[in-house]
Structure 1
Amino acid sequence: MRQAQLLKVEGLKQYFPIYGGFLGAQVNNVKAVDDISFVVNRGEAVSIVGESGCGKSTTGRAILRLDEPTAGSIELDGVDLLSLNRGEMKDTRKEIQIIFQDPYASLNPRLTVRQILYESMNIQKHIKRKDREARMYELLDLVGLQRDQAERFPHEFSGGQRQRIGIARALSVDPKLIVCDEAVSALDVSIQAQVLNLLKKLQREMGLTYLFISHDLGVVRHISNRIIVMYLGKIVEIGDNDSIFENPKHPYTQALLSAIPVPNPKKKSKRILLKGDVPSPIDPPQGCRFHTRCPFATDLCKEETPQLRTVDKMAEGHQAACHYINEVSFDNLKIEQELVKVESLQSEDASYERVK
């Protein structure tokens, strides 16, 4: 059964102008996000992953119009968000909310939890005043906080508790889509697990839809239905959870997965080391943007930009942007299905040619 589409992003570009010279004229752009398209279906969790600077957080901010996109279209439940004026966008804010990375900086230190949760309800006016207190206590119950904590200030809570307040605030307006921008990266590992389990529980019970932005592949594997891999402002691979982890096709995705640490010290992993640094988004390479670091790059990769192509007809929706989609493979790389585990099945005396 095909899922109903909730978010549709087409040709999204987010350029930030660079000014210089004597008159302060625009001299160039930072191409943070450069012509990407994807969909998020109702009730699923789609994750965007990649190195720092790949454009994943900028994508989330552009979708919420916290930064005004340079070009493209963003449709939420059939409504083009970029066509809305300021007043119309304010009314639509309740449909799409965000959980920020820093659970302290995102909360007003001068407001109590009660005031923080009341603020969004007062702005959107979707709940009658007499019902707001009951709704506040309901939200605290949902995220695992005590009702008597409503009168406390953010500095009186731990990092994990503050992030729960952020989740409660996002839920207070009954959104259709929640953007989780590195929502657990600032937390201790044990607290990360608690918050992730909470997010999954809320999704299951309330039918929530997530756009989850993260650099942590272990976190992504735990919460995602589908995964989008970005590199230097472009989508290089997209597919369901199992397809990406079990059968990655783009060399960049393979390198990312090889970096997942192995929790068992007796088992060896084969780390793929990419040469060079990430190029500048001000002047990205022509052709495939990954070709400057890819050991399989040819002249074709330097000249022509690869488009997303279907990897396998059996794996519906699995696409990769590589000219040699079914030909490149790092020797002896085996990516296991278990969470946070990448290991080689070859014996210790087997030869392995390290990618330089």
Structure 2
Amino acid sequence: MSQNELLKVNHLKQYFPIKGGFLGKTVDQVKAVDNVSFEIYEGETLSVVGESGCGKSTTGRAILRLDEPTDGDIKFDGEDLLSLNKSEMRKRRKNLQVIFQDPYASLNPRQTVGKILTEAMGIQNSVPKDKQRERAIELLETVGMNAEQINRYPHEFSGGQRQRIGIARALSVNPKLIICDEAVSALDVSVQAQVLNLLKKLQKQFNLTFLFIAHDLGVVRHISDRIIVMYLGNVVEIADKKTLFENPQHPYTKALLSAIPIPDPEVKKERIILQGDVPSPISPPSGCRFHTRCPFATEICKTDVPELRNLDHMKEGHSAACHHIETIESGEMQAKY
């Protein structure tokens, strides 16, 4: 895997205003993404996981500027995306594509598959007009479909086939980075595996880079190189896949991993049940946002925001945001269940 940095996100914030009152003034803000930083290297798959509402999809949308970020820096291939005007950004989207969660809602029901695929090529001028249909057929075959399906409409396909069309559309403009926003969560498990294997095959074939947003840890384990764990708009842990699954450091990551079922009734596994619900992103807890549900929380967790850090016992590139990593690791600190 090359170590050329393709995307760098620094201190990204995405707040949504809450309007209220007679004049519709902004009375509060939803802090969906709050101070998130990471980088993606060429040819890798970086996954973002966490509970619903933690800011995963919002992060992806902010990078594409489908929602304008409130604050922060986004550099793609060395270029500052936030300094571009709308028409310049539209041109850059040739290199930044997205596969949405719902393959039916993201395809125009009035267009044939051929029109859906050639429209993107026309907008980005990525293929000459006389070659577009030929390229569309080639793309359909690349994603495991037949050339004769090019004149059909989205409603004539199954969910898995629609998602393959979505993947073909993303590939039609030869992108460098594809953001997969819960790209397989609406599919049956058997179809999920087929689509994941297809994505891995296409990654090798076209040297693609993926930002893979998901909540299913089994899916993430299959496709990722590195993983980011998010909680309530913050990054709580970053590590490569093997390290994260074998040696999680943050209490939230440990709780998430403990929920993965093991297909062996003889193996007894401790299930970490978190107390309470996820707090509201309108008024997130002070200090560490996880402290209201954390079995190790102390007074410092309520007041001080923990920084992402790498410690001596952790592998290079593995960081977690917790005040008590050392004492939890050494066993000095016991969980308060």
Q: TM-score, normalised by structure 1?
A: 0.91
Q: Helix, strand or coil: the match of 2:58?
A: helix
- State which drifts further: 39-48 or 134-143: 134-143
Separation of aligned partners in 2, 1:152 and 1:198: 22
Is residue 271 of structure 2 the alignment partner of residue 297 of structure 1?
no
In structure 2, list runs of 5 or more residues that go unmatched: none
Can you list the C-alpha shifts for 1:253-295, whole angstroms capped at 9, x where unaligned?
A: 0000000112223322221000111111000111000000001
CA distance in 2, matches of 1:16, 1:284: 14
- Quote the sequence identity (%): 67
Q: Residue 151 of structure 1 aligns with which residue?
A: 151
Q: 8 Å contact 1:273–1:355 — kept in the other structure? A: no
Give the SS at the match of 2:238: strand
The code of the aligned residue for 2:200 comes to K
**Per-residue deviation at 1:325?**
1.5
What are the residue-to-residue correspondences of 1:175-324 with 2, within 5 Å? 175-312=175-312, 315-324=315-324
**Aligned equivalent of 2:87:** 87
Query: What is the RMSD computed on CA atoms of the aligned residues?
Result: 1.6
1:43 equivalent in structure 2: 43
CA distance, structure 1, for counterparts of residue 44 and residue 330 of structure 2: 31
Question: Helix, strand or coil for the counterpart of 1:82?
Answer: helix
Which letter maps to 2:50? G
The 3 A distance-change label for structure 1 pair 147 and 2 is closer
Taking the aligned partners of 2:311 and 2:238, their CA distance within structure 1 comes to 10
Deviation readout 1:292-349 (Å, 9 max, x if unpaired)? 0001011111110000000446611100000111222598xxxxxxxxxxxxxxxxxx
Partners in 2 of 1:324 and 1:221 — Cα distance? 26
CA distance 1:274–1:314, shift in 2 (3 Å)? closer
Secondary structure, aligned partner of 2:82: helix
Deviation sequence 1:212-243 (CA, Å, 0-9, x none): 00000000010000000000000000010111
Q: CA deviation at 1:131?
A: 1.5
Displacement after TM superposition at 1:135 (Å): 1.0
List, as ranges, runs of 4+ consecutive aligned residues in structure 1 with deviation greater than 4 Å.
none
**SS state at 1:57 partner:** helix
Corresponding letter in the other structure for 2:294: C
Query: For residue 18 of structure 1, what is the aligned residue in structure 2?
Result: 18
User: In the TM superposition, what is the alpha-carbon distance from 1:149 to its structure 2 partner?
Assistant: 0.4
Match of 2:139 in 1: 139
CA contact (8 A) 1:250 1:322 kept: yes
CA distance in 1, matches of 2:288, 2:164: 41
Pairs aligned (count): 335
